[in-house]
Amino acid sequence: MPKVIPVADELSKPFWDSVNQKQLVLQNCTACKKLQYPPQSACQVCGSAVSLEWKEVAGKGHIATYIVIEDGRLNRRMPDQPYNLALITLDEDPTVNFYSNLPGTPPYEVPVGAAVEATFEEVGPEQLIHEWRVIG
Amino acid sequence: MTTQDQYQWRRDKDGLGVWEHRGKVAVAGFGHSPVDRRWDGVSMDQTVGAYSILACQKAMEDAGVTPDQVDGIICCDSHIAGPSGGAASRWAPRPYFDPPYDSELGLTLVNGEWLAKQLNLPNVKFAPTGVPTIGEMVGMASQAVGDGRCNTCLVIYPCGNLEGRYRRGGENSEDYARGARQWTVPWGNHGGNDFINIFPHNQYCLKYGGKHDDLAPFVINQQRNGLMTPWGFNANHGIDQITVEDYVSSRYILNPLRIWDCDRPVNASTAYLFTTAERAQDLKQPPVYVLNHSQHNFRQRSTQADLEVIEDWTDHAAKRMYEGAGLGPSDVDIFNPYDGYSVMSQFFLEAFQWHGVKRGDALAFYAGDIRVEGPHPFSSSGGNLGNGRVRSAMYTDSIEQLRGTAGRRQVQVRAETALAAFTTPSNGGWIMLSKHPS
């Protein structure tokens, strides 16, 4: 069963457009030099609404921790259970984190602390999402 | 009527100093409805509306207050477990009636206006709409009474539960994720305190040592306290006390989160009666004074708050509460934090440093004597894990402990101050209660 499909809004459209081009771009505050994800209307650190730009990141990270969803509530994901849900920190700024199902890593066999890299997965017609795959 | 947005009642900033109404507001009564697993959709005397009326009547009777004396009513516009149920909580088969009979008020929905009418409260002058959950409502009531917006105020927390699997349906049954859900749901996080806290809990175990199942003594003790709570779900429905073996062999929900780490959704309502300290002295029960209330609504920087963030947030919450109450950790006798999922309570325990518990100490603390008969009667209420998901056990037990009427749960140590909350690390509120006004 495919994953739930994200629906872009005005704020997130540049992000998802980039993901659909297999690029990971995050908001970057030119005032305080902080990356930001998920996108917000203003910088979460300095509050500036006019200093946010989109910046492509390298897509390298590490696995901070993980859980295995055995009895979740999402109808569309029921057939996938059990599946990993990992927390990924971005190497360029570890305060930025992402969720990942770690494609290619069997449930319960998650190497916490391992390096990962961004990958992209089709979840609906012309809609990709960003995922993370263990390197090596 | 006023909306809560029009009234600046919150104490949600650092450095506010001692609360200006410290000891001048009191809790004078409480009332619980029966606690059922679900409403059957048929029994009109068991709706969350009927139960809210009953809880209010009990609270007024407990305090010795008549309906005409009530001039404030605060009730969250609740359906399934209050506003925090979110749109995903609309899983129940509904509507029950076809238009124009499409109102569920009194069946699965309750609000202050409806309750005031049903209870024949002729003198209500403060009945805000759009009020938050109980963790903040008790603070709102305290401030409203202290500010003179009302003198005698009912606070009601209806917590409904209908047939069907918990929060299956609604947005959780959709193929698309919109709004904030676009950043979580595609990967399987449908939201909730379980997800909020399980990741930092895992990091906690990694950082400080220990394993998830070290929570077993805490969970078991919550159930033990619940079985000593006459109104609670467990005590009235033949729920057996679980053992360590039961706990460690129970099924996983979000591995390592087990079924016993999660509270049981119930259909119930609770009411409290707040008034001025001066008036409370003339009522039926010994007053339980409010020394402070505080709230927090911390903003998350990224997808998931990690352990470092959670510890920072809870440290801030503790500092705000202690500062406003003019007390410190060693002054708190009764400590009833939120436990809707067992994995979050240690963050509160350590932030507030109750009984000297510091960061990384909680699992060892749980392994000690935390029974109500012992020296460290942690969460003497049994919380939601012990009583069902009423989200009020923490407040009622605190009141009872200070009154000295907690029965088999009455702690053997000093019981002059109590700290209670329904809160997550990011959002909610705390209240400090006391046997004495200062």
Residue B86: band (very low, low, confident or very high) from pLDDT cuts 50, 70, 90: very low
Chain B residues inside the 8 Å CB shell of A4 = 174-177, 185-186
Would you give the distance in Å from CA A7 to the centre of its chain? Answer: 15
B173, B174, B187: which to substitute to probe chain A, counting the most A Cβ within 10 Å? B187
A99 vs B173, B180, B189: nearest CB: B189
B12-45 per-position pLDDT tens digit: 999 999 999 999 999 999 999 999 998 887 898 9
| Chain B residues inside the 8 Å CB shell of A74 | 172, 185, 188, 190
Q: What is the pLDDT of residues B226-263, one digit of tens each?
A: 999 999 999 999 999 999 999 999 999 999 999 999 99
What's the whole-number mean pLDDT along residues B259-271? Answer: 95
Q: What six digits make up the tokens of B53?
A: 């009326």
A interface residues, B as partner, C-beta within 8 Å: 3-9, 12, 36-38, 44-45, 64-77, 80, 82-83, 85, 87, 95-101, 108, 112, 123, 129
- CA-derived radius of gyration, chain A: 15
Cα angle at B193 between B420 and A92, to 5 degrees? 120
Percentage of residues in chain B having pLDDT higher than 70? 93
| Domain covering A59-136, topology | OB fold (Dihydrolipoamide Acetyltransferase, E2P) (2.40.50)
Contact A65 B253 (CB under 8 A): no
Asked whether the beta carbons of residue B183 and residue A38 sit closer than 8 angstroms, the reply is yes
For chain B, what are the domain ranges?
4-166+265-280
pLDDT (tens digit per residue) in B174-217: 899 999 999 999 999 988 889 999 999 999 999 999 999 999 99
Instruction: Report the distance separating Cα B113 and Cα B17, nearest Å.
Output: 34
* DSSP 8-class letter at A98: E
Closest CB to B302: pick one of A37, A71, A85.
Answer: A37
- Token pair for residue A38? 């998920």
Q: Which amino acid would we find at residue A103?
A: P
pLDDT digits (tens, 9 = 90+) for A70-116: 999 898 999 999 999 999 999 999 999 999 999 999 999 999 999 99
Cα–Cα distance, B175 to B172 (Å, whole number) = 8
Q: How far apart are CA B396 and CA B419, in angstroms?
A: 11
The 10 Å Cβ neighbour count of residue A114 is 15
- What is the CATH superfamily name and number for domain B4-166+265-280? Thiolase/Chalcone synthase (3.40.47.10)
Q: B88–A73: do the CB atoms touch at under 8 Å?
A: yes
Chain B contacts of A85, Cβ < 8 Å?
187-189, 254
Give the neighbor-by-neighbor strand order of the sheet with B152-159. B72-75, B152-159, B268-276, B25-32, B288-297, B427-434, B417-423, B334-336
Domain locations along chain A: 7-57, 59-136
Taking the C-alpha atoms of residue B335 and residue B214, their distance in angstroms, rounded to an integer, is 20
Residue B255 with chain A: CB contacts under 8 Å: 67-70, 82, 108
Residue range B167-183, pLDDT digits in tens: 777 788 889 999 999 99
Q: Which of A41, A65, A133 to mutate to test the interface with B (most CBs of B within 10 A)?
A: A65
